[in-house]
Amino acid sequence: MFVFRNQRGTAIELLVYDGQGFWLCHKRWSRSRLRWWPSSVEAGQTLRAHELQVLLCGGDPTRTRVPAEWRRVGEPAA
């Protein structure tokens, strides 16, 4: 999956290959802009599923507080 945004930060597109072809999803904010987008240094970074969900809702995935993806069984959450 590839995620793109327009220059003004008012729209985001997802490009996905599903094995048979590509599909494109486009979301546009009519009254606001994206609050977060990776800088040119961070470009090409990988987003986790919950971070993409926050981004699509117009939030900042770097500010989410979620437990680590992997931890030992019985280890308390951070």
Q: Nearest 5°: phi and psi at 2?
A: -120, 140
The domain ranges of the chain are 2-63
CB 26 within 8 A of CB 13: yes
User: pLDDT tens digits, residue range 3-46?
Assistant: 888 888 889 899 999 999 999 999 888 888 777 777 665 667 77
Residue of 72, 66, 27 lying closest to 49 (CA atoms): 66
pLDDT at 26 (0 to 100): 92
